Structure 1
Amino acid sequence: MRRISVVTALIVLTGTTAAASPPGGGLQRSTDAIHALGAIGVQARAVGADGRYHVATSGVADLSTGRPVPPDGRFRIASAGKTFTAVVVLQLAGEGRLRLGDPVERWLPGVVRGNGNDGRRITVRQLLQHTSGLQDDIPDYATEADFQRHRYDVYSPEQLVARALANPPAAGWHYSNTGYVLLDMIIERVTGRHWWDEVRRRIVGPLGLTGTSWPGDSPAIPGPHARAYQPFEAGPPIDVTEQIIPDPGSAIISTTQDLNTFFRTLFSGRLLPPAQLAEMTRIVPVAPELAALLPGARYGLGIFQRPLPCGGTYWSHPGGWGGYLTDNGVTADGRRSVVLSVSSVLGTGPDDYVRQQHAADALVEGTLCAAGG
């Protein structure tokens, strides 16, 4: 996950079979609340156990034109893409083509070496669970000048891993984008195909996720979308829509409809065999600093477990990068879900990110509770 941030009109759209029920009204109020914090554009989609859905939007999609947020708009899903990678790895494990206990060295010999990092002592499971100790040095933009100068830079996976290996390993649970870069490389080594080809073949195609794509080295977002905004230093929000995301898995583009379908299908047991879904949902505590951002969170393999304020738990993988923040939630049986996309970052400090993430969580958790707890 990365830094994230949030202005006036509102639209409520419901599906032709959607009922006027508390989840719909609550979804709109929560969407408006995020907009009221300063978010420029907000869209959310909730799906109930009966398959009926509610969509709410607030704010504008483009500050220069004032056009409304499209209810089916596409956005970069950032760290939510880790769940796609995890599903492919777990499918390969279920097929006997790799083991979660395999050392990274088996698949990527000599790749993870240096400064105490050693692929002979790091397993596939540890990459999935963020317990490998690998730190990140994925390029980011501290100033507007940095953004303008480097937004079209392209990095190979090997370059990203090499940057990370300049750092000594971290102790304990440590969120690592680099670990998922390595997992994508392992998918390619095991299958002989590009990691995205495997995601498309195993998930995107079979589920009919027509709004989901991977841009490669293109800086554009295809189809309808709200433009993304991010402030730098003390300045106003800058349009950062057009850029190449250095971390390949975080560059996946999708829609709230497609992500609802993906998470619901996953937790209904139709993407993974029972043994592999059980592995995915075996949880460990996260680092204290992340627990402050995501209260009560535990991590499985490519997915967070979170507590619901009305009792019970839900599964989620929020993320933010390139001006977009996404949050989501699905019940353990896959019957109720909600996906949120915010197309701006509130500010440049950690308190801004916490404030925005907690507002996103309030929408997700409030919607799931209103839909049945």
Structure 2
Amino acid sequence: MTKGTSTSLRHERGPGPGPKARYRPRSVRPGLLLTAGALLATTLAVVPPATGAEAAADSPREANRMTMEQREPRPRTPGTHQATQAALDAIVAAGTPGALARATNGRAHWSGTAGVADLRTGQPRRATDRFRVGSLTKTFTATLLLQLEAEGRLSLDDSVEKWLPGVIRGRGHDGRKVSLRQLLNHTSGIFSYNRDPGFLARFTGEPFLEHRYDGATPQELVRIGLSHPPEFPPGTGWSYSDTNYILAGLVVERATGHDYATEVERRLIRPLRLHSTTVPGTSPTVPRPHARHYSRLYLDHPDAPIHDVTDFNPSVAWAAGQIISTADDLNRFFRALLGGELLPARQQRALLDTVPTGDGEAPPTGHSSSGYGLGIRSDTLSCGVTVWGHGGQVPGSLSRTAATRDGRHVLTLNRNGDWGEQTGEDAVLEAEFCGARPAAGSDDGDTPGAERGRIPRSGVEDPALVVP
């Protein structure tokens, strides 16, 4: 086995969240809604208990199982994971400093790593490394709103105006016409603040090094997004927008009376025992153990210098992308979510009700078909298996989680460099769920000049490395 590459296969009973049970809504304290500045009128109906087939259909886990058995090809059975490890090795060979993956299939667990965690010391990547997950945060945020709907605190069909009065106004925007559901599935038409030229001027290229600790408030990020006219009328198109999820985080705070981080911790992190997952707020550091996070600052030139960007203020991503986690914790979260442990049946169906993404600035996947639900996307692989999950990108970190619809088979991967094509990540998914080995030259070699800008595994020979 080459230096900087490791793999392990274990069959064990993982330290999961304990006995699995259907989601039980939290009790609603009437005073809490008033402190959040909103009063919800509710009606109570008496429904006879479901029996037989009705009860089975109402179970998210049973519905997922039936869908998998009747409609989708089965993913490959657990094996040696040689193809998955080969795909990780190919990512590193193409220029990423290091990569890791963690797969769970039933009670079988596998971890693989390649490359280095630190270009200066040559420390290998570890399967237990923490990393910034980027837009995988969106799945956490969407789950919070779905739980709040299940508890009767809000409806996804509520307008944003109802919860954030006067916030979405001007430049053709009207919060009365944008629903919470449209925020979560990116059909609101609201411009993404991180595509604003002024934002890019501060947080890409060399200026990032000067502004990395600046941060921003959610209100500032929303104002940037709303300074642009809508991309289309609400509900008539699809465009990936981080502004949607900043607004969703503000709704969580208004509906609960608690800050966003508190709700993530008490509803998801603590119940699922995600011990390595944090919501950092304005803290610029990543808890140990972690790999260094490296970036070319989004410059297209293949010889652009590589910077250590591990530390920066993640409030510029907030409820759209600031969570820090591990592959194991992310797998546990997605297994619980897709397995029906976090949402009742109605909200589970809403979670997976997708809209076509078209060409609306979706993170590329290279797969035959894809759709976007509520903070989760579906992709159909070359072997016909459909996986559900999300990707994430922040300075220095690229991540991906994918799982079968029932959550039984799930994989998370991370690379500690934010450049290169996504075909390498796609190859890891193809290997894990279809058993396909990466074809020669099919990974990040598409990137112009990728071989010339290749990062040696030892990490000590690249003269372009810059540590601020």
Counting only pairs closer than 5 Å after superposition, residues 238-277 of structure 1 correspond to structure 2 as 238-245=307-314, 246-249=316-319, 250-277=321-348
Counting only pairs closer than 5 Å after superposition, residues 187-198 of structure 1 correspond to structure 2 as 187-198=252-263
Using the TM superposition, give the Cα deviation of residue 287 of structure 1 relative to its aligned residue in structure 2, in angstroms: 3.1
TM-score by length of 2: 0.73
Does structure 1 residue 153 correspond to structure 2 residue 214?
A: yes
Using the TM superposition, give the Cα deviation of residue 292 of structure 1 relative to its aligned residue in structure 2, in angstroms: 8.1
Inter-partner Cα distance in structure 2 for 1:31 and 1:361 = 11
Deviations 1:14-64 (A, max 9, x none): 33649x963522221111011111110100001112x21110100100111
Residue 287 of structure 1: aligned partner: 358
Does structure 1 residue 43 correspond to structure 2 residue 100?
A: yes
Summarize the Cα distance change of 1:120–1:149 in structure 2 as closer, same or farther, 3 Å threshold: same
Residue 61 of structure 2: aligned partner: none
1:63 partner SS = coil
Inter-partner Cα distance in structure 2 for 1:289 and 1:173 = 5
CA contact (8 A) 1:216 1:248 kept: yes
Residue 124 of structure 1: aligned partner: 180
Counting only pairs closer than 5 Å after superposition, residues 9-158 of structure 1 correspond to structure 2 as 9-15=4-10, 17=12, 22-49=79-106, 51-138=107-194, 139-140=199-200, 141-144=203-206, 146-158=207-219
Inter-partner Cα distance in structure 2 for 1:298 and 1:367 = 21
TM-score by length of 1: 0.91
Give, as a single letter, the amino acid of the residue that structure 2 aligns with 1:237.
I
Residue 316 (structure 1) aligned to one of 346, 370, 389: 389
Q: CA RMSD in A?
A: 1.9
CA contact (8 A) 2:401 2:413 kept: yes
Give, as a single letter, the amino acid of the residue that structure 1 aligns with 2:278.
S
Summarize the Cα distance change of 1:289–1:206 in structure 2 as closer, same or farther, 3 Å threshold: same
Of 331-340 and 230-239, more deviation after overlay is shown by 230-239
Residue 73 of structure 2: aligned partner: none
Inter-partner Cα distance in structure 2 for 1:42 and 1:143 = 24
Unaligned stretches of 5+ residues in structure 2: 14-76, 437-468
Deviations 1:225-279 (A, max 9, x none): 1111111444221111111121112110000000000001111110110110100
1:170 partner SS = coil
Inter-partner Cα distance in structure 2 for 1:8 and 1:148 = 32
Structure 1 or 2, whichever has the larger Rg, is: 2
Residue 4 of structure 1: aligned partner: none
Percent same amino acid among aligned pairs?
42
Does structure 1 residue 167 correspond to structure 2 residue 228?
A: yes
Moved over 6 A (4+): none
Using the TM superposition, give the Cα deviation of residue 114 of structure 1 relative to its aligned residue in structure 2, in angstroms: 1.4
Residue 236 of structure 1: aligned partner: 305
CA contact (8 A) 2:239 2:360 kept: no
